[in-house]
Amino acid sequence: MRTHFSRSAFIEGVRDMLPMTVGLIPFGIVCGVGAIAAGASPVAALAMSMIVFSGAAQIIAAQLLAAGAPFAVIVLSCFVISLRFLMYSAALAPYLKPVDHRWRNLVAFLLTDQAFASSIRRFRESSDIRANVSYFVGGGAVLWLAWQIATIAGILAGAVIPASWQLEFVVPLCFLALLAPLLHDRTALIVFAIAAIAAIALDSMPMRLSMICAGLAGIVAGVIADRVLGRSATTEVEPGN
Amino acid sequence: MIVVVGAINFGTRLSFIALFARREMPPLLARALRHVPAAMLTAIVVPAIVFAAPGELALGAGNVKLIAALIAGVVAWRWRNTLLTIAVGMAALWLLQRFVG
């Protein structure tokens, strides 16, 4: 295990992720409030946050539970929401080949939208896999800790925050901060346009299936655009920082 | 229920990391995966800002969330700073609501 750990890269990961937690905290509070509103006990709400560690899945599960949805529907919905991790996982896979399985499991557990977006560039550009994994785990650990603190805050005091503050708007803003720097070439703009149109057109699909379908539409558009614009397979479409 | 949902999340996160640990990834898949971040982030962000209410599309200047997000988007694109993006976006939302709503 120790051979995979670089303290300086871990600390760098922690430092780079700290600003991101500001966006995560209101999201976590919303999840904590949502779980309590759905009738979960404070212990169950915190346990879910610690084990599941996925805002979207937690919110969906809490909403469906409150609506009295059957167990199978809750599980299926969470699976669909989590499909994007399948794609992140696939994107990280080639870089994690030399890594010990315990570290791979840890990376998998800590894999989130934020952790993926902030570290994929590093994985692509640097071949120092030990530092890259440590960087990822540092950022992931900060996110996990911030998520638990936020959930506890949501369980305890979230209901006190007035709805007029629209704190939930922080969630798209956080993702927007990751998205905007990616849109620096024609292919990325095409991916954005197609995914955006699809997300709007497919919004009425049940169980938030629209998110997955719009994402897939954007990916297909990107592959086609690569071919039409004559870009080689090795050309980097760089993620943000 | 909690454990099952947790297991599913972990499973999807681990799936490909484990699957492609010992073999080469098909080139088409590798190319497609480069577009995952932009496509998925768009699919998450766009529905959260273009609907005034569930199912009610609002692409005009009356949608304060859309205007605030556009301002925040310019900030994010120009300065690449998460904190600044959130601060400007929330400030824009609150100010716009005061004037419009």
Highest mean pLDDT among A24-33, A51-60, B68-77: B68-77
pLDDT bracket for residue B32 (50, 70, 90): confident
Same-domain pairing of B21 and B69:
no
Confidence label for A237 from pLDDT (cuts 50, 70 and 90): very low
Residues B57, B71, single domain; the answer is yes
Give SS3 for A126.
coil
* CA nearest neighbour of A239 among A186, A187, A172, A179: A179
Tell me the torsion sign for CA atoms A119, A123, A127, A128: positive
- Give the DSSP H/E element, type plus range, for residue A13: helix A7-37
Do B98 and B50 fall within a single domain? Answer: yes
* Mean pLDDT (whole number) for A165-172: 76
Q: Within its chain, how far is the Cα of B93 from the centroid?
A: 18
Phi then psi dihedrals of residue B10, to 5 deg: -60, -40
- C-alpha A178/C-alpha A108 separation (Å) is 20
Question: In the predicted model, what is the mean pLDDT of chain A?
Answer: 81
Please determine, for residue A147, whether its predicted confidence score (pLDDT) is greater than 70: yes
Contact B80 A241 (CB under 8 A): yes
Contact B21, A97 (CB under 8 A): yes
Contacts of A28 (CB under 8 A, 6+ apart): A49, A55, A146, A147, A148, A149, A150, A151, A153, A154
For chain A, the 3-state helix, strand and coil shares in percent, each to the nearest 5, are 80, 0, 20
**Mean pLDDT, rounded, for A220-224:** 94
Q: Has residue A79 got a pLDDT over 80?
A: no
User: Do residues B97 and B68 share a domain?
Assistant: yes
Contact B9 A48 (CB under 8 A): no
Q: How confident is the model at residue A55 (pLDDT cuts 50, 70, 90)?
A: confident
Pairwise CA distance, residues B97 & B101, whole Å: 5
Q: What single string gives the DSSP state of each residue in A23-43? A: HHHHHHHHHHHHHHHTT--HH
| Domain shared by B40 and B86, yes or no | yes
B30 & B52 share domain: no
- Confidence band for B60, pLDDT divided at 50, 70 and 90: confident
| Domain, as residue range, for B85 | 35-101
In this prediction, residues A79-86 reach a mean pLDDT of 72
> What tokens does B53 get?
């209410």
CB A92 within 8 A of CB B33: no
Tell whether B39 and B25 lie within a shared domain: no
B69 lies in the same domain as B93: yes
For residue A224, pLDDT over 90 is answered with yes
Q: Does B5 touch chain A (CB under 8 A)?
A: yes
pTM equals 0.69
- Give me the residues of B, 27-86, that contact A with CB < 8 A: 27-51, 55, 57, 65, 68-69, 72-74, 76-77, 80-83, 85-86
What is the enclosing helix (H) or strand (E) of B47? Answer: helix B36-50
| Same domain assignment for residues B13 and B23 | yes
Classify residue B56 by its DSSP letter.
E
Q: Does A90 touch chain B (CB under 8 A)?
A: yes
Name which of A25-29, A85-89, B21-25, B47-51 the model is least confident about: B21-25
Per mean pLDDT, which of A213-222, B7-16, B35-44, B46-55 is the most reliable?
A213-222
Which of the four pLDDT bands, split at 50, 70 and 90, describes residue A238? Answer: very low
Q: How far is A79 from chain B (nearest CA, A)?
A: 6
Tokens in use for B66? 């859309």
CA gap A126, A16 in Å, rounded? 17
By mean pLDDT, which of A42-56, B1-15, B31-45, B63-77 is the weakest? B1-15
What is the C-alpha separation between A234 and A56, in angstroms, rounded? 33
Q: Are residues B7 and B43 in the same domain?
A: no
Residues B16, B46, single domain; the answer is: no
Mean predicted confidence (pLDDT) in B61-90: 90
Rounded Cα–Cα distance for residues A191 and B56 (Å): 24
Q: How many domains are contained in chain B?
A: 2
Strands, DSSP E only, in chain B? 51-53, 56-57
Q: Say yes or no: B41 and B14 in one domain.
A: no
What is the model's pLDDT at position A90?
82
Nearest chain A residue to B88 by CA: give it: A173
